[in-house]
Structure 1
Amino acid sequence: MQERSWYVIQCKAKESFRAAENLENQGYRVFHPYIQVEKMRQGKIRLVDEPLFPYYLFIHLSDVADNWRPLRSTRGVLKLVSFGQTPVKVEDELISQLQERINPEPQDYLKAGDQVLIEEGPFKGLNAIFQSKKGEERVILLLNLLQKQQRLEVPVKSVKPLK
């Protein structure tokens, strides 16, 4: 049995998913850690997959048995990360720890208690506190008016997180 190690591949800008798919189609074993994040898209909050390490992925190769030449011409791949002429090996233990720790739970765009800025409507320019989502297109905020917290329902596209 051939000794296999994990190596790092640098991908072209915003093409790490394409590179991973193309390498897997060629029969290589690839680890491309990503997380799901809520992002604002076309006025709605959507789940988006984002690489944990933008521009990089890991590939499991044998020094002897595998053909490394196709790596350079694979769509989405920029190069194999190397120091001089020696490709960088990544410890198996590190890859195992990453695989265990990848959190499949989506990261929220807004969490209860987050400070937000209202960018549209009659309350434009005021800061508020995010309380909850109401469907995909609306949010409920708490706004301090007249020495009292008022609940306010606004379109999600009119709110920007203050971070």
Structure 2
Amino acid sequence: MRPSNHPAPHDPSPDPAQPACDTAGFPWYVAYTKPRQEEFALGHLLQQDFNAYLPRYKKLKKPAKNAICQEMQVVHEPMFPRYIFLQRTRPEQAISKAQHTRGIVTLVRFGVELAIMPAELIAAIQEYEQHRNQAGFEEISPLKPGTRVKLNHNTPLQGLEGLVQTASAKRVIVLLEILGRPKTIKLEPNQLDIT
């Protein structure tokens, strides 16, 4: 299996987030990973033939201050940082082996009992992830019309506040009040902070 929830384009292999075999009777467990090692742990669980799922959240991220490209970037970050879900793929597979997988700190427990995620909840998370991945810029952008923003250090008008009128990946039109008069200006997303 590929160590990713998302197959590469033109890749006929199944999505590892979906069970490759009939695992419906096996419970889902929750593992707690080392910081920023969710992908690493996912790969090692898949290599051990566990059914593993790392939900990712599609979001827009402002470019770094010194980035050449000033467009908002689409990123997929863990929906639940440091948590990953796993399940056995065969009855004789010991879930305790996952405890010692590289990148994993521990399996989540309530007292001495391992925490179990209902299959219906896993399915709901997968459905939400799929819906979010198909969402367009307007749906996931934090810069929606009416959002109050502050111009940051990337513009000579630093510190002024205004309201977003329209937004795209490259440009945001903001309504400001300058010298007592309303004025719209075009800015890049990295020039704004949400207040």
TM-score range, shorter chain: 0.7 to 0.9
After superposition, the Cα gap between the structure-2 partners of 1:98 and 1:134, relative to the gap in structure 1 and judged at 3 Å, is closer
Normalised by the length of structure 1, the TM-score is 0.83
Corresponding residue of 1:77: 104
Describe the superposition over 1:82-140 as per-residue Cα deviations: whole angstroms up to 9, x where unpaired: 2333211221122122222332226214222211101233322110112234553x432
**Structure 1 segments (4+ residues) deviating >6 Å:** none
Partner in structure 2 of residue 86 of structure 1: 113
The superposition leaves residues 40-97 of structure 1 with CA deviations (integer Å, 9 ceiling, x where unpaired) of 1314321121222111111112684213344233232111112333211221122122
- Residue aligning to 1:38: 60
Question: 1:113 aligned to 2:146?
Answer: yes
Residue aligning to 1:127: 161
In 2, Cα distance between the equivalents of 1:112 and 1:76? 41
Q: Percent identity?
A: 26
Q: 2:175 aligns with which of 124, 142, 160?
A: 142
Q: Give unpaired runs (5+ residues) of structure 2.
A: 1-21
Q: CA RMSD of the aligned region, Å?
A: 2.5
The answer (yes or no) to whether the contact 1:119–1:159 under 8 Å persists in 2 is yes
Rate the CA distance shift 1:87–1:42 in 2: closer, same or farther, 3 A: same
> Are the equivalent residues in 2 in contact too, given 1:39–1:109 (CA < 8 A)?
no
Larger strand percent: 1
Residues 5 and 62, structure 1, Cα contact 8 Å, conserved in 2: no
Number of residue-to-residue matches in the alignment: 161
Name the stretch that deviates more: 11-20 or 93-102. Answer: 93-102
Q: Which has the higher contact order (CA 8 A, sep 6+)?
A: 1
